[in-house]
Amino acid sequence: MIVKTARKIVVLVIGGTALLFGVVMLVTPGPGIVGILAGLAILATEFVWARSLLSKAKKRAAELIPGGAQDVRPGASGKVRDPDRPV
């Protein structure tokens, strides 16, 4: 019980700090959105409300990206490469 509470407090402090820095970086030079998302991701490990906000942010980001969110890893297109054709 004490360990669980201590973990929540540590996650709250670290995630809250990252979130706060992200908000500050929105008006100062720096990657504010990245800081906000990082803070929410840390907070989402322990808090349902943060998980919900992070999910909404991911959905919104996918809507804003033209063509939707795509997997950009090499070979992730789902196409099978012809082994006889040189790369």
Question: Are the C-beta atoms of 43 and 12 separated by less than 8 Å?
Answer: yes
Q: Alpha helix (H) ranges present in 1-87?
A: 2-27, 32-43, 48-64
Interatomic CA distance for residues 69 and 87, integer angstroms? 26
Instruction: Pick the range with the lowest mean pLDDT from 8-12, 72-76, 81-85.
Output: 72-76
Residues 15-58 have pLDDT tens digits of 999 999 999 999 998 888 889 999 999 999 999 999 998 888 88
What pLDDT shows up at residue 18?
A: 93
- Residue 41 is given by DSSP the state H
Cα radius of gyration (the chain)? 19
pTM of the model: 0.68
What residues does each domain of the chain span? 2-63
Q: For position 78, what pLDDT does the model report?
A: 56
pLDDT of residue 64: 79
